[in-house]
């Protein structure tokens, strides 16, 4: 069962990450006081990992480990939760020009949920595209807190959420072991599998949580 989950991170299966899944779990075990996570969702770039079986690691570390995907569309990057064979037949996840509206509509119809991530980023975030394209229909939530965003990128998301009434969630977007869990999502209900995660993401009852350490600036008393 999990309530505090990092919904966005990449393992060594992604082309730009070198982090083994077990290394993430070891790090979270060491950092439990700072980042009290119950689960992670692996969101590999432009693919879905149909093969890896993490049940032994779940038992060993007492963590929920789920799998999803981060795909690329003309509205920016989108996280797809609840990926199944129907989606993989319908969409080529390696295509960086997926049509966002088709993805959102059809993923929902196939039992999943597609949610834009890091919407405040230039080029690959939703906000920039909303400036010159019509808003997408059927978006239930966006990643309001992304651990890989630069200063100002997360701050741009509040207005988007206010304007469109989106749910807000958080994820670390970790590509390196030490970044796992710096941002996460707290759910009101326990999550035990992908179906429950998709159901919760669709209906609400969650919030982004920031576990990044805020260091006090050094005072110059001279």
Partner 1 sequence: MAFDFDRSILGQVFDETDFPPITKDDILKFAEALGETNPLYTDEEAAAQGPYGGLVAPPTFVTRLRPQKMTPEHMPRFGKVGFDGGRDLESFTPVRPGDVLKMVSTIHDIYEKTGRSGSMYFIVLRNEITNQNGEKVAVVDHRIVQR
In the complex, the residues that contact partner 1 under the rule CB under 8 A are: 15, 45-46, 72, 77, 94, 96, 121-124
Strand-pairing partners, residue 64, are: 39
Closest separation between CB of residue 58 and partner 1, Å? 27
Of 76 and 141, nearer to partner 1 (C-beta) is 76
Q: Which is nearer to partner 1, 96 or 140 (CB)?
A: 96
Instruction: Give the whole-angstrom CA distance, residue 23 versus residue 200.
Output: 28
Residue 73 region, left (φ>0) first, then alpha (ψ -120 to 50), else beta?
A: beta
- Residue written as tokens 């999803």? 68
Q: 165 burial class (0-12, 13-18, 19+ CB within 10 angstroms)?
A: exposed
Residue 123 Cβ, how far from partner 1 at the closest point, in Å? 5
Nearer to partner 1 by Cβ, of 61 and 93: the residue is: 93
Whole-number minimum distance, CB 51 to partner 1, in Å?
A: 18
User: How many C-beta atoms surround the C-beta of residue 53 within 10 A?
Assistant: 8
Q: In the block, which residue shows the tokens 């692996």?
A: 42
Q: Output the smallest distance, CB 56 to partner 1, in A.
A: 24
| Residue placing its CB nearer to partner 1 in the complex, 94 or 178 | 94
């Amino acid at each position: 069962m999990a309530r505090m989950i990092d919904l966005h991170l990449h393992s060594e299966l992604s082309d730009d990450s070198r982090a083994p899944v077990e290394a993430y779990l070891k790090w979270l075990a060491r950092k439990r006081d700072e980042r009290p996570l119950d689960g992670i969702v692996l969101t590999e770039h432009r693919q879905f990992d149909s093969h890896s079986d993490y049940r032994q690691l779940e038992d060993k570390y007492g963590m929920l480990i789920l799998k999803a995907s981060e795909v690329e569309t003309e509205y920016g990057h989108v996280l797809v939760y609840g990926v199944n064979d129907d989606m993989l037949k319908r969409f080529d996840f390696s295509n960086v020009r997926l049509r966002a509206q088709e993805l959102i509509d059809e993923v929902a119809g196939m039992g999943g949920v597609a949610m834009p991530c890091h919407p405040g980023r230039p080029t690959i975030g939703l906000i920039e595209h909303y400036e010159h394209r019509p808003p997408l229909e059927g978006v239930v939530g966006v990643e309001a807190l992304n651990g890989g965003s630069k200063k100002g990128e997360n701050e741009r998301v509040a207005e988007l959420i206010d304007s469109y009434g989106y749910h807000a969630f958080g994820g670390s977007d970790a590509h390196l072991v030490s970044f796992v869990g710096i941002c996460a999502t707290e759910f009101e209900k326990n999550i035990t599998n992908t179906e429950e995660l998709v159901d919760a993401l669709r209906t609400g009852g969650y919030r982004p949580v920031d576990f990044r350490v805020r260091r006090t600036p050094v005072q110059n008393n001279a």
